[in-house]
Amino acid sequence: MYQNSAIEINEQNLQQVIEQSMQTPVAISFWAPSMPETAEVNALLNKLAAEYQGLLTVATLNCEAQPAVAQQFGVRGLPTVALFKNGQPADGSAGPQTEDSLRTMLAKHLPSQDEIALKQALNLVDTQAFNQALPMLRELAPKFPQQAIVTLAIAECLVETLQFDEAETLLATVTMQDQDAKYKGLMAKLELHKQASESPEILLLEEKLAADPSDKQVAYELAVQYSQVNRQEESLELLIGLLRKEMNFADGNAKKTMMDILAALGQGNAIAAQYRRQLYSLLY
C-alpha cells in the first residue's frame, strides 16, 4: 500500500521540491499552526495523495516559520494551495478548501481513478499475476474502448491462464495497425498450442469417442490427453460428464484429475470457477 508523507518546505529544500515536480506533480499547502483550518487542508491533501498512489507529492509550507519562503510565492492569505507540474505553477486555489474543491482541481492535472486502476492492472500483467489482473482488466475494458493495450493485456492473461479459445476470439478483433510485437507473440503461442493439441493420439481418441460416445474409458483417456496439451476446458467438460454418470469412475482418478486441473488453473480463472461449482454441486 502506498504511504504518503508530506515534505515540509524550507529555504534549503525549496528548489529541490520544485524540481521534483518535473517527475511528479507537487501540491504545496501554505498553512500556519495558528489556523486549524489550514492544517485540515494538509490532511485532505495527504488523503487524496494516498488515493493517487505515488502520482502526487504533497509539500507543506509553514508560513509562520518560513515567512521569507512564503513571500517568494506571493502568498496573500491562508489557506492557499498551489500545484506545480514540470517545474512550473500549474494551478492553485486560495481561501477555504473542501475535499471536493481539492479533488476537482487535482482531477484536471492528474490521471483518473480508472487510469490509475488500469496502470495497476498492467503492472500485475508485467509481474505475471495473470489471474489477479484479468478480472480487473475485464471491468476496465468498457471504459477504454478501442485501446489496444487493454485488449492485448486481456488476451495475454487469457493465453497464460490457458483460456485459448477466448484469447483467439479477442485477438481477432485487433486491427492491423495495432498488431505489434505483443500481438504477434500471442498469436505464435496460440499456433503452438494448436499444433500440440492435435496429436495423432488425440485425433484417434476423438474418432473413437465420436463412434461410441458412451465409451467412458475413451472419454477419460481423451480428457487426460486434452489436459496434457492445455485444452483444459475440453478436458473438464469430459470429466464432469463422466463424474455425473459415475463419481468414482477409474477408481476415483477421474475426480482426482479434474481437481488437479482446477488447482492448476487457480482461483481467479473463470473456467475453473465454472467447473469448480459443477463439481461441488455433485460432491455436496
* pTM: predicted TM-score of the whole model, two decimal places: 0.60
Q: What is the pLDDT of residue 160?
A: 92
Q: What is the pLDDT of residue 2?
A: 40
Q: What is the pLDDT of residue 264?
A: 85
Walk me through the domains of the chain, giving residue ranges and CATH numbers. 7-107 (3.40.30.10), 113-196 (1.25.40.10), 200-283 (1.25.40.10)
Q: What is the pLDDT of residue 234?
A: 92
CA separation, residue 274 to residues 17, 25, 50, 225, 238 (Å): 52, 45, 36, 21, 14
- For residue 161 the three cell numbers come to 491462464
Q: What is the pLDDT of residue 4?
A: 52
Q: What is the pLDDT of residue 167?
A: 95
Average pLDDT on 37-44 reads 96
Q: What share of the chain in percent tops pLDDT 70?
A: 99
Q: What is the pLDDT of residue 284?
A: 77
Average pLDDT on 100-116 reads 93
Average pLDDT on 98-122 reads 93
Q: What is the pLDDT of residue 192?
A: 84
Average pLDDT on 187-210 reads 89
User: Using one digit for the tens of pLDDT, what is the confidence trace for 220-236?
Assistant: 999 999 998 888 899 99
DSSP secondary structure of the chain: -----PEEP-TTTHHHHHHHTTTS-EEEEEE-TT-HHHHHHHHHHHHHHHHHTTS-EEEEEETTT-HHHHHHHT--SSSEEEEEETTEEEEEEES---HHHHHHHHHTTS--HHHHHHHHHHHHHHTT-HHHHHHHHHHHGGGSTT-HHHHHHHHHHHHHTT-HHHHHHHHTTS-GGG--HHHHHHHHHHHHHHHHTT-HHHHHHHHHHHH-TT-HHHHHHHHHHHHHTT-HHHHHHHHHHHHHH-TTGGGGHHHHHHHHHHHHH-TT-HHHHHHHHHHHHHH-
User: Average per-residue pLDDT in the chain?
Assistant: 92
Average pLDDT on 55-61 reads 95
Give the confidence band of 20 by pLDDT, cuts at 50, 70, 90. very high
Does residue 55 have a pLDDT over 70?
yes
Q: What is the pLDDT of residue 53?
A: 83
